[in-house]
Amino acid sequence: MKTNAFFLFAVAALLSFSACTDKTITFDSLLQEMLCRDNQAKFPQPYYTCSQFSSYDRQSVAPDQPGWYANWDRSDFIRTETNNGRREFVMYDADGPGAIVRFWVTLASYGGKGILRIYLDGNELPVIEGEVWNLISGGGLVKEGPLATSVSDQTPYERRGHNLYLPIPYAKHCKVTYESASIVEPGPKSGENFYFNINYRTYEKSTRVKSFTMDDLKKHAALIDQVQNDLKNAKVQHINTLTDTPIEAVLDAGKTWSVELKGQQAIRQLTLKLNAANVYQALRSTVLELCFDGDRTVWCPVGDFFGAGYKLSPFKTWYTEASDDGTLTCYWIMPFKKTCTVNLTNLGEQQLTVNGKILSGKWTWDKRSMHFGASWYQQTHLDTGKKRNMEGTGDQFDVNYVTLKGKGVLVGTSVVLFNTANAWWGEGDEKVYVDGETFPSHFGTGTEDYYGYAWGMAEPFSHPFIAQPDGTGNNGSGYTSNIRWRGLDAIPFTKSLQFDLEMWHWAHTLINHAPAAFWYALPGVSSNVEPRPEDAKEPVALVREDIIPVKYHTKGIIEGEDMNGTATRGSAGMQTLTDIGWSNDAQTFWTNGLEGDELSLSFLMKEGETGNFNIKASLTVSFNYGIVSISVNGKTVLPYFDAYSPIVTFKTVNFGKCNIKNGENIIKVQIIGKNPKSPNHHFGLDCIELQ
């Protein structure tokens, strides 16, 4: 072993120390707390609860009642008020002492003039007022950076998730309202679509909190800049001498590398790099196991522990990162009173090498000190359910990430999945139950909203608290990894915590779905997720056929949603609705194409089932559909089809005689215009019938 001294970030550490001990909660103390990783490893003092206001669909009342999976998660507010002649929608109303610690929004059909107002302590005048996007991510409060950002920067601005991490403390009360003439009436089906999630703390009544003022932004401008900079540059921040324990091992199948650390210490950095013939499989089948003071609290595949999954893409957060060369690093503070055992086990069938290091240093264990924990499992070939609708009475279901018994704090979740359909998989809302709640104190508006982005967009992004290293599988067949770490929005619990997230996939298909949860807890906490070695041994999915074998069709009905779709613009995928009358209650749906764009739909025909067939097609017509021409294997079969209709229904169209060949066949759809009454150029194919 060798010893290294770390003197970087001394100022941040000292500021963090004051934040950890100051009993008065202020704007600047909360900013300093964001940089204090040590503080997160101690049970909160003063104690607070963390809850959420959101625009979730109010049809969701109870798990045993219709509407629990309702999906009109927008423009739902607490009430409507008239203030100084203005119509304001109340989206947040909470007694203090407390603090807003995370604010996320996105909008559709936005009029561009929505005004957000934050009122504190019963004052009639708002302490914050301005256009919503400008305040949240456009520099209206703080310049763009970790405290205020929109993601991904590769996504069109209006399709991004907008995130504000600037804390807003208040002593007595906080009310947040939204004003927009584009909302005709409050409710999810009228005018502008306004989605929001606001996480907030409520402290014990005796806690002293100094309410936010706009002067705080000027007074603490230097601290704001420091926080923005330090959050972007995650480093070991403790200034004490650290011990470097190297990790160097060659692991044959079934073998384990192990080391034991002794004394009152804390792991402050863990770095690993795996090398193998199949690195993808090694990242999933190599398991990290951490035992603190005799209790195993971490059992997780290496790739999933760092939030990267099994297909590495570079990203950087405040707690974990992956570099270009595949090196994985985490900065979670992981304290122990007497001993810590670190095990790396190769559950795969190939030999691999592992290199890295553990940096550890002194820790004074006390009654608030907590052990770090992480759970993981995979739902292999998960059936997403056949029927779904916006009212939530279909086959959607809740996936339990983890249920914890004891006393601790939830600090993050991640998910790694392989999608097998050309459709968005993440409509589902998070539901977090704390200390036996019958209705969750966190009820969200969509999986991508929970992870900080919006509209299921596939572009990658990195941020100190949220990341999408890879979103290839968001709206098509492929791989996706999402991360959300919790800083000020960590969720304490004194008895129990249950984290569920709906599986609300637009397609009926099979996927591999691997959720992970991360927490700190006092000794003795229990998790319902036990080690699942068989899940970690499963071959990882790299192509659709790893989960769903290639489908060869026979004559008869071929569903549009079973075809592979590729569009020159926009996206094509499965859409499922139960009240249209579609065959199998689904269609392939092409959105956001423009005149001249093409969609290619391919299907494979089984040998011996080929020849000349008369083809009939069931085509969807609707109020926002376009005018198209259609060909089959290069032959124009429908030169002009206007798919506009004031109501959503379908028409049966005869394509005539077509030669269907062995192997791949192509139906090509080209947009040639749109009806003057239609606002868009959408297209939908329910099915074709080979006669």
Where does a domain end: 464, 499, 534? 534
Q: Quick check: 579 and 389 in contact, CB under 8 A? A: yes
Q: Is 362 a member of any domain?
A: yes
| 394 phi and psi angles, rounded to 5 deg | -95, -140
Q: What residues form DSSP beta bridges with 79?
A: 90
Q: Per-residue pLDDT for 96 more than 70?
A: yes
Q: Decide: helix, strand or coil at residue 627.
A: strand
Q: Per-residue pLDDT for 19 more than 60?
A: no
Q: Tokens representing 461?
A: 């992004």
Q: Is 633 a member of any domain?
A: yes
Predicted pLDDT of residue 634 = 95
Q: Is 123 a member of any domain?
A: yes
Q: What is the DSSP string of 559-582?
A: EGGGSEEEESSSEEEEEE-SSS--
Q: How far apart are CA 268 and CA 242, in angstroms?
A: 8
Per the structure, the complete domain to which residue 432 belongs is given by: 24-233+373-534
pLDDT digits (tens, 9 = 90+) for 157-166: 999 999 999 9
Q: How far apart are CA 417 and CA 510, in angstroms?
A: 11
Q: Quick check: 403 and 521 in contact, CB under 8 A? A: no
Q: Per-residue pLDDT for 464 more than 90?
A: yes
The average pLDDT across 204-232 equals 97
Element (H, E) at 268: strand 265-276
Q: Is 440 a member of any domain?
A: yes
pLDDT digits (tens, 9 = 90+) for 146-156: 999 999 999 99
Q: How far apart are CA 26 and CA 36, in angstroms?
A: 15
Q: How far apart are CA 415 and CA 470, in angstroms?
A: 11
The average pLDDT across 578-604 equals 90
Q: How far apart are CA 141 and CA 114, in angstroms?
A: 16
Backbone CA torsion sign across 406, 412, 418, 422: positive
Q: Which of 69-78, 513-522, 544-553, 591-600 has the lowest mean pLDDT?
A: 544-553
The average pLDDT across 57-81 equals 95
Q: Decide: helix, strand or coil at residue 284.
A: helix
CA Rg value for the chain: 27
Predicted pLDDT of residue 10 = 37
Judgement on whether residues 457 and 591 belong to the same structural domain of the protein: no
Predicted pLDDT of residue 365 = 97
Residue 639, Ramachandran bin (φ over 0: left; ψ between -120 and 50: alpha; else beta): alpha
Predicted pLDDT of residue 237 = 61
* Dihedral angle computed from the Cα positions of residues 315, 317, 323 and 329, in that order, rounded to the nearest 10 degrees: -140
Q: Per-residue pLDDT for 7 more than 50?
A: no
Q: Give residues with Cβ within 8 angstroms of 249, minimum separation 6.
A: 257, 344, 353, 354
Q: Per-residue pLDDT for 243 more than 60?
A: yes
Q: How far apart are CA 683 and CA 589, in angstroms?
A: 6
- Omega within 30 of 0 (cis) for the link into 63: no
Q: Quick check: 474 and 424 in contact, CB under 8 A? A: yes
Element (H, E) at 539: none
Q: Tokens 């940096």 correspond to what residue? A: 359
pLDDT digits (tens, 9 = 90+) for 394-427: 889 999 999 999 999 999 999 999 999 888 999 9
Q: How far apart are CA 341 and CA 381, in angstroms?
A: 34
Predicted pLDDT of residue 550 = 77
Q: Per-residue pLDDT for 12 more than 50?
A: no
Q: pLDDT band at 121, cuts 50/70/90?
A: very high
The average pLDDT across 528-543 equals 97
Q: Decide: helix, strand or coil at residue 134.
A: helix
Q: How far apart are CA 376 and CA 512, in angstroms?
A: 13
Judgement on whether residues 483 and 406 belong to the same structural domain of the protein: yes
How many Å is the maximal CA-CA distance in the chain?
81
Judgement on whether residues 390 and 405 belong to the same structural domain of the protein: yes
Q: How far apart are CA 137 and CA 101, in angstroms?
A: 15
| 300 phi and psi angles, rounded to 5 deg | -160, 135
Query: What are the helix and strand counts (H, E) for the chain?
Result: 10, 50
Where does a domain end: 347, 368, 389? 368
Helices within 503-572 (DSSP H only): 533-537
* Dihedral angle computed from the Cα positions of residues 177, 179, 185 and 188, in that order, rounded to the nearest 10 degrees: -60
Judgement on whether residues 217 and 295 belong to the same structural domain of the protein: no
Angstrom CA distances, 458 to 30, 313, 463, 474, stand at: 33, 14, 16, 6
Q: Per-residue pLDDT for 127 more than 50?
A: yes
Give me the chain's average pLDDT, please: 93
The average pLDDT across 568-576 equals 82
CATH code, domain with 585: 2.60.120.260
Q: pLDDT band at 584, cuts 50/70/90?
A: confident
Judgement on whether residues 226 and 310 belong to the same structural domain of the protein: no
Judgement on whether residues 358 and 459 belong to the same structural domain of the protein: no
Q: Is 15 a member of any domain?
A: no
Q: Give the burial class of 172: count Cβ atoms within 10 A of its Cβ; 0-12 exposed, 13-18 middle, 19 or more buried.
A: middle
**DSSP code of residue 68:** T
* Dihedral angle computed from the Cα positions of residues 333, 336, 341 and 344, in that order, rounded to the nearest 10 degrees: -20
Q: Give the burial class of 255: count Cβ atoms within 10 A of its Cβ; 0-12 exposed, 13-18 middle, 19 or more buried.
A: middle
Predicted pLDDT of residue 240 = 63
Number of structural domains the chain divides into:
3
Judgement on whether residues 225 and 265 belong to the same structural domain of the protein: no
Q: How far apart are CA 516 and CA 21, in angstroms?
A: 32
Per-residue b or e along 460-499, where b marks 16 or more CB atoms closer than 10 Å to that residue's CB: bbbbbbbbbbbbbbbbbbbbbbbbbbbbbbbbbbeebbbb
Q: Give residues with Cβ within 8 angstroms of 84, minimum separation 6.
A: none
Q: Decide: helix, strand or coil at residue 405.
A: strand
Q: Is 18 a member of any domain?
A: no
Judgement on whether residues 577 and 610 belong to the same structural domain of the protein: yes
Judgement on whether residues 449 and 525 belong to the same structural domain of the protein: yes
Helices within 10-145 (DSSP H only): 10-21, 27-34, 37-40, 132-136
Q: Is 157 a member of any domain?
A: yes
Q: Which of 384-388, 616-620, 674-678 has the lowest mean pLDDT?
A: 384-388
Where does a domain end: 500, 534, 568? 534
Q: Per-residue pLDDT for 454 more than 60?
A: yes
Judgement on whether residues 414 and 521 belong to the same structural domain of the protein: yes
Judgement on whether residues 66 and 179 belong to the same structural domain of the protein: yes
The average pLDDT across 650-667 equals 94
Nearest Cα residue to 32 out of 270, 245, 220, 281: 220
The average pLDDT across 318-336 equals 97
Q: Count the residues in the chain.
A: 691
The average pLDDT across 104-132 equals 96
Predicted pLDDT of residue 390 = 87
The average pLDDT across 584-604 equals 91
Axis crossing angle, helix 10-21 with helix 221-232, rounded to the nearest 10: 110
CATH code, domain with 332: 2.60.120.1390
Predicted pLDDT of residue 239 = 52
Judgement on whether residues 143 and 192 belong to the same structural domain of the protein: yes
Q: pLDDT band at 238, cuts 50/70/90?
A: low
**DSSP code of residue 211:** P
Q: Is 383 a member of any domain?
A: yes
